[in-house]
Amino acid sequence: MATLGDVIAALRASLERLPFTELADALDAAEEARSLIEQVSAGSGQAEFHRVLDCFSQVISGIDQLQRQLTAIHAGVTGAANRLEGSGRTSEVLKPASPVPSRPQGASLLGKLPEREGGKTSGIWVDESGVEHDLVSGEHDWQQARDVLAELRIGPARGTLWVAAQVEVKLAAALRGLAAKHVTLAVNNEPCNEGRWSCDRLLSRILKPGQTVTIHWPGGEQTYRGKEAQT
């Protein structure tokens, strides 16, 4: 088994692989290219040159942002390694972590659901207090999901997007009004994972930043995360 000293060594080794040099070289090349294009296009007034210059400016800005993120990562990992090293327990053998209960919980929930042979999808979701809630697909309780989709401008300007009737979308819409961060859902039908209105595309847009839903179905599971707000 690994010791705390092994972990510290691995952390410090990871710092050496951070691509500071590669990013610096890329930044130099992009700035040089932009400078050359500025010289060539000076006084030309051609829109194409301006578009190319804008592209290089975006690249340079992106590289600069990556460099700041790498610097923050380097500082964080270095601080963690230093704190571990200063603990005086570098020879301590680390015990394996306890298994994550998500998969057994998913199997248990699936066992409570009826086998689906067409028709409506049934589901059970568990909140952070461990309380179970039933869900069924269909139009009988889809108004909240319809309202959320309209608020987020997902779907047609007129009419209702049919996915508002899906269990997964109903739950994601409901979570927007709750403080819950991480919940589990079991359904007796595989979530739609293809097309413009699939769960893969929709749930991350409906969930708030920081919220996750782990969905279990017969034969699989997946965690969906709310997109971080764009700044």
Q: Give SS3 for 85.
A: helix
Q: DSSP string of 11-25? A: HHHHHHTS-HHHHHH
> pLDDT at position 185, please?
93
Asked if residues 94 and 2 have their Cβ atoms less than 8 Å apart, the reply is yes
Residue 185's φ and ψ, nearest 5 degrees, are -130, 135
Q: Which domains does the chain have, with CATH numbers?
A: 4-85 (1.10.287), 102-225 (3.40.140)
> pLDDT at position 101, please?
45
Residue 106 buriedness (CB in 10 A; 0-12 / 13-18 / 19+):
buried
Q: DSSP string of 39-63? A: HHHTTT--HHHHHHHHHHHHHHHHH
> pLDDT at position 100, please?
43
> pLDDT at position 139, please?
83
Question: Is the full-model pTM beyond 0.85?
Answer: no
Show the low-confidence residues of the chain (pLDDT under 70): 1, 90, 93-103, 157-160, 194-195, 228-231
> pLDDT at position 200, please?
76
> pLDDT at position 231, please?
40
> pLDDT at position 116, please?
80
> pLDDT at position 225, please?
87
